[in-house]
Amino acid sequence: MFFWRRVAPQIPEEGLKPTATPGYTRNIRDLNDLVSRGKSFSGYERNPFYLNLKGQGFSETAALLGVDYNDDSRAVAVIDWDHDGDLDMWVTNRTAPRIRLLKNNFPRSHSSVAIRLIGNGTTTNRDAIGARLVLSAGAQPAQIRTVHAGDAFLSQSSAWSHFGLGAESGDLTLAVAWPGGATETFSGLKPGARYSITQGQGQLVTPMAVSPPAIPAATPAAPAALKAEKAGFWVVNQVPFPKLTYTDNKGAARTTAEFLGKPALINLWATWCSPCLEELGMLAKHAQELTSMGATVLALNVDGLAVDGSAPDSGAKPEAVLARLGYQLPHGTARQENLAMVEVLIEYLTARRAPPSIPTSFLVDAKGQVAAVYLGPVSWEQLSGDLALLNASPAAQLKRATPRPGRWFADPLNINRESLLGDYATLFATNGFPEESQRLYALAKPQAAEQTAQEFYNQAKAAAQQGLTQQAMELYQKSIDLDPNYGQALTGLGAMLLLQKKIDEAQPLFEKALSIDPNHATALVNLAMIDQARGKPESALQRLRQVIARNPEYAEAQLNLGSLLASTKQFDEAIKHLSKAVELNPKREVAHLNLAAALMETQQFTKAAERYRAALQLNPRIPQAYFGLGMVQSREQNHAEAVKSFRQSIALNGASSRTWTQLGLSLLALGEKTAAAQALTKAVELDPKNEGAKRALQEISPTAP
Amino acid sequence: MENATFPFPKANHRLAPPALWFNVGLCCLALTLAGCEKQAVTSATPATGSPAAASSASATPPPAESIVTGGQSKETVDLWSDAVKSQWAGIETAVVNGAPLGAEAGAFFHQSVGVIDPAALQTQEVFQDPSFKVTETGLPSGVDQGPMIELDVEAFIRALREQVGHVAGSSDNALHFKLYGITAGEGRLKTRQRLTARGTRNGNWVDSYAVVDATWVTPAADAPGGKPLLASFSVQRLVQNELTDRTVPFEDIAGTVLGGTDAWSEQLQLGMNTWVRRIQRSLHPDFLGYHGMAIGDIDGDGLEDMYVCQPGGLPNLLFRRQPDGTLTDVSAAAGVDWLDNSTGALLLDLDNDGDADLAVATRTAFLIMENDGRGKFALRERLTSAGMGYSPTAADYDLDGDLDLLVLRYSGEGSKGGDFPTPHPFHNAQNGGANILLQNQGAFGFKDVTNECGLGVDNHRFSFSAAWEDFDNDGRIDLYIANDFGPNQLFRNEGGSFVDVSSESATQDWGFGMSATWADYDRDGLMDIYVSSMFSGAGNQVIAQADFNPSMTEETRQKYLKMVRGNSLLKNRGQGRFDDITDPMAEGFAGWAWGAKFADFNNDGWEDLYVANGYVSQPDKDDL
């Protein structure tokens, strides 16, 4: 439902750029984000099987045939695997098991014949792909097959052409039209046979006596004995471990950066988690070996922290538990923020978003890079092996990074490391850790050690997206310090200042941007806004006209120019620009409303009503639109409808004296004097200076005050 | 009326300069802030929060109070739709259990339920063979509306149970109503849903399918969120399939055939939900699981073997078939155990030397490997211009005696892949990848002839797969390309070059085309097309609402409705024209469909269809 309710209504019109409706791209991003957080999307759908009703349509029989799997299935390939005369299928899935072989056990009430074609390799390809086979039997309509290779989704089926012989009787005749060659005809085919035909030899050959494979009876589809669920992986494209600030056992704040210089296992554990206790016991037991390998452990206790929506607490004291386990290596207490950062790290490494399971550990090398992730407890065998691997060649490390061996075509180590680390730093920024992001940006370029204006700008933008105004402003400033002519940074900082209504500070920034690029659209639009705020509409108009001259498709600029023109009573020109704004972005309510208002002013009531209706379709809760609609209706002497519209307006905003007045007048026109008087009284109550309402009241009931 | 009553609507206008302009400053071309659209909406109309909520990802549907009464806003219908689904769940349980509801009946049913008088219905046998019987029950042809009778709740449940063969057990699909249409009116709801039921009759299993039109009485105080009560239940056509032979005709024997391999126990038995937590993302363990397979005889022993494509970080697998039907893993020895994310492959004789060579679509390149005749492969060609391809497919399009290759490419340049894309325009997207036709030059040389053959036109659609077939029986192989988010394409082969005849042949089949397969399903001598696409119950409900994307033209809305109708059967009428003869409640009604294959599974001479279905199943079943 999310897709159709949230994403689809945001789809931009044909002809518009996707950016015209930022909601579209954003909602698609949100959609992907929700999938990465574990939501299903058209999940658990069953595979249908459509039985051909002898050419008269199909009927769904998957459940009856036992093939209505609710896997996320992908590819289907057909083959008579066991040479028993009926077609079986291989199916691949996204979900487990990722492959199935569906053996066909249909009763053998019908026979079949199967043909393998071999082209001559000169005029026809050897596989005879594209050959057309036509099988005829008596008066029955012929059956045709074409030899395909790779039709359907991601699959190549058997090269054998298979013909079921349901009602076929009499002589079987086969015509083979070879691609790029002549047609050959064969007769006397026997039901149940498999033939190979080599082009030009004119013979039906029963190929190599292959006895039907004796596939052992199927074992029940019990989940196989898999190795215990043990997630985690070696990190081949390494990133720095985030700097976690935790509380040590003496209550002091410490950071994981202190472990730089030697490999460390950073372990998240809880007293309520028994695998954690076993793991810590193991670490305690091997403490000396760890030390002799130059490695250490930091066990961070997460008791009482929110993990996966709940904050379990065993009531045990972590220090006491560690003492009982004989654990004397470094340890401390994690903070909620540590878990959030770890979540970002895991998201970066896996593209999956979930709170860390407990226990989770990270093997961090002497340079502070994450070398391995263990989701769940790690064994000593694994850990000691991995510690030794830290000094191994990149090729040896890459081998450990794949669960099973194989060969690479594109070397995974050959990647743009700077861009990888840049993305990593950005992910921390967008998740609300701008400081960590900056630290990581700096680490990303240890040689240069300095960030570029562009990098500060990117971080600033990320911070601004998070609503971290102060952070964003500082970062924009840093970007400008490095490059005083960085137009986007100037307007970015200016926009942040405007948000805080600091017009005087914002103005010079936009002017500076304009001095670099006299047509800087952002700067012009913002300066126009400042002009307007300062009561200089002429200057604002001039700037907006300049923007539109170069960017006629800039919907918001058209809208603002039109609105500004309307507010200075230049309605005809206003209508032109507002119409353009509506055309460019039909989802902008205020464009419809302002256009409607301008149309009202120029007595174009029918068109105005159209705009009000359009605005109401976008958002049915705009009292002004109902009011405007009511005005048009009362103009058209359609007082009954007008009354409805005014009432809808009042239902949304009951405090408008003029709406009550118009309601009263329309009711009066309908002859409903009592109701009219009530409405007008309300209008006067709301605004004692409403002379129109008072006058109308007087007319209804001359005795009224 | 006095002029003063036509003021410039100050409420809007007052907002426009300061508040609205702020948004301009922020939402401008040069600087796009994610949050700004939301601000724009709120500041333009501060009285309402609903548009902002509608555009916010995590927002739950707005609470009932925010609904405009009287009108039919999207939110109203959405809430009713959720309420109806929840009611069906209760009714399903009641019918499956067959237990009297007693006082609880009032929570689901109106006083009585109107149904078509069973006496007016006729049952007709439409198919029979040794293992299947298919019947259709409905009004006689020519009769549109049957006489309605009222049943009390107990009688209704009894009648439904009898009709669908006493649904058995509590399996999740014993009885299910899939809602896909809804309109809300004065105190009434009309809904349309597809009934699926599993029952037994005469000791045989019986599956039932029907389109049900239901009406519901809604709570008096037109307040969405209340419980609609079922008042009528009208079945126009009930299809029932009876399995008259109780042997289950298929069984999964992958474990038997593959069980001796580590590839099975350590690789294939785990799903992608697991693998993405065991392989670093930078190795591209494609979460969406676009991994297929190729069948071919790699060693000339007459037994076809199999190559299986795998996600990044797991080796592709080549299995050699043993005479007993089981498989051994020869991937490494054969030199084809690529760890790069791979989608589809072909095992074909590309140099006409009598053995099956290998072509495999990987993330960064299309790889072509030569078979030494004994099942060992050497890399002969690496086409990096054809990276990130899907569903490679082969044909000798120029009839020069060797096989040419077509690589379908879904994602446009700059796409990271692995996610739901951002197609534009959504229903006619042209920002996808460019498909590539590779002409075989001999000796493993392949030349990109896409443009010179006429396939370069309109070549930026989201294509996952294509199927070659001689649809006009002229001896030249034509090409049908399935495209996501828009029209499919039929290219007629005019002797080595292609002409787009999609429009004149009526084969565009506007939709979410995932794949296509050809067969002469009705044995009239002409090849027909089956297209895998998407049925969406949610899409059908939402698009039909008047206020879905109000600025959309009616023509576009009709296209959208076609897009969510589901899979299509396009019947070849000859003379280069096709008719869409899909029964949306039968072969059209799949779901999010991927691969589909025609094959005559019961050997009755008529080709059946199996369809792979479903996008992403995860532990959180709450579906997006």
d(CA B192, CA B214): 6
Query: What's the full length of chain A, in residues?
Result: 705
**What is the least distance, in Å, from the CA of A319 to any CA of chain B?**
32
Quick count: other Cβ atoms within 10 Å of Cβ B171?
A: 12
Say if residue A612's pLDDT is above 90.
yes
**What is the least distance, in Å, from the CA of A102 to any CA of chain B?**
5
Q: Which of A352-366, A437-451, B75-89 has the lowest mean pLDDT?
A: A437-451
**Contacts for B92 with CB less than 8 Å, ≥ 6 apart:** B174, B175, B176, B177
Q: Give burial (CB, 10 Å; 0-12/13-18/19+) of A619.
A: buried
d(CA A162, CA A85): 9
Please, what is the angle between helix A380-389 and helix A394-401, to 10°?
150
pLDDT (average), residues B306-329: 95
Say if residue B73's pLDDT is above 80.
no
**A237 vs B contacts (CB less than 8 Å):** 280, 282
pTM score of the predicted model: 0.78
* Six-digit token string for B348: 């074909």
Q: Give burial (CB, 10 Å; 0-12/13-18/19+) of A228.
A: exposed
Number of A:B CB contacts under 8 A? 848
Q: Report pLDDT digits (tens) over A291-340.
A: 999 999 999 999 988 776 566 667 789 999 999 999 999 999 999 999 99
B616 touching chain A per CB within 8 A: yes
How confident is the model at residue A392, as a pLDDT?
92
How confident is the model at residue A619, as a pLDDT?
85
Contact A601, A613 (CB under 8 A): no
Contact B207, B238 (CB under 8 A): no
Sign for the pseudo-dihedral over CA of A583, A585, A586, A590: negative
* Residue among A162, A171, A164 nearest A138 (CA): A171
Q: Report pLDDT digits (tens) over B100-150.
A: 677 788 889 988 999 999 889 999 999 998 889 999 999 888 887 888 999
* Residue among B552, B551, B336, B316 nearest B427 (CA): B552
A39 touching chain B per CB within 8 A: yes
Band (B313; pLDDT cuts 50, 70, 90): very high
Least CA distance to B390: which residue of chain A? A154
* Residue among A59, A65, A60, A165 nearest B127 (CA): A59
B414 touching chain A per CB within 8 A: no
A4 touching chain B per CB within 8 A: yes
**Which candidate in B222, B533, B618 is best for mutational testing of the A interface (most A CBs within 10 A)?**
B618
State the pairing for strand pair A143-146/B122-128.
unpaired
Is B426's CB within 8 Å of A11's CB?
yes
Q: Report pLDDT digits (tens) over A479-532.
A: 898 888 888 899 989 988 888 888 899 999 999 988 888 878 888 988 988 888
How confident is the model at residue B263, as a pLDDT?
95
d(CA A612, CA A690): 26
The CA-atom distances, in angstroms, between A194 and each of A84, A203, A536 are 10, 13, 90
Is B551's CB within 8 Å of A597's CB?
no
d(CA B309, CA A93): 11
Q: Report pLDDT digits (tens) over A652-676.
A: 888 889 999 999 999 999 988 889 9
B548 touching chain A per CB within 8 A: yes
Say if residue A404's pLDDT is above 90.
yes
A410 touching chain B per CB within 8 A: yes
Cα end-to-end span (Å), chain B = 52
Q: Where are the alpha helices (DSSP H) in B312-410?
A: 331-334
Say if residue B16's pLDDT is above 60.
no
How confident is the model at residue B421, as a pLDDT?
80
Say if residue A403's pLDDT is above 70.
yes
Contact B593, A9 (CB under 8 A): no
**Contacts for B140 with CB less than 8 Å, ≥ 6 apart:** B122
A666-698 core/surface letters (b: 16 or more CB in 10 A; e: else): bbbbeebeebbbebbbbbbebbeebebbbebbe
* Six-digit token string for B528: 């027909």
What does the mean pLDDT of chain A come to?
A: 88
d(CA A122, CA A180): 10
d(CA B66, CA B49): 9
Structure-token match 């009856």, residue found: A64
Least CA distance to A195: which residue of chain B? B302
Q: Which of A260-269, A443-452, A573-582, B75-84 has the lowest mean pLDDT?
A: A443-452
Q: Where are the alpha helices (DSSP H) in B481-568?
A: 502-505, 537-543, 554-563
Band (B258; pLDDT cuts 50, 70, 90): very high
pLDDT (average), residues A261-272: 94
d(CA B28, CA A43): 38
* A47 phi/psi in degrees, rounded to 5: -80, 125
pLDDT (average), residues A607-626: 90
How confident is the model at residue B12, as a pLDDT?
27
d(CA A363, CA B537): 47
Is B271's CB within 8 Å of A97's CB?
yes
pLDDT (average), residues B205-229: 81
pLDDT (average), residues A454-458: 82
Say if residue B9's pLDDT is above 50.
no
Q: Where are the alpha helices (DSSP H) in B303-368?
A: 331-334
Least CA distance to A233: which residue of chain B? B278
More confident residue, A448 or B274: B274
* B549 phi/psi in degrees, rounded to 5: 45, 70
Which residues 299-328 of chain B have a CB within 8 Å of chain A?
301-304, 306, 308-309, 313-316, 321-326
Angle in degrees, CA A33, A39, A41, rounded to 5: 95
A44 touching chain B per CB within 8 A: yes
**A619 vs B contacts (CB less than 8 Å):** 45, 48, 50-51
The CA-atom distances, in angstroms, between A200 and each of A71, A100, B292 are 45, 38, 34
Is A98's CB within 8 Å of B420's CB?
no
Could you say which DSSP state residue A4 is in?
Answer: I
The ipTM assigned to this model is 0.87
pLDDT (average), residues B177-188: 86
How confident is the model at residue A214, as a pLDDT?
67
Q: Which of A445-454, B247-256, B329-338, B594-603 has the lowest mean pLDDT?
A: A445-454
Candidate from A14, A151, A156 with C-beta closest to B468 = A151
Is A125's CB within 8 Å of B396's CB?
yes
A492 touching chain B per CB within 8 A: yes
Contact A73, B595 (CB under 8 A): yes
Q: Which amino acid is at B563?
A: M
The CA-atom distances, in angstroms, between A342 and each of A234, A272, A360, B318, B450 are 16, 20, 9, 38, 47
What does the mean pLDDT of chain B come to?
A: 83
The CA-atom distances, in angstroms, between A557 and each of A551, A586, A597, B469 are 9, 14, 18, 52
Which residues 431-460 of chain B have a CB within 8 Å of chain A?
none
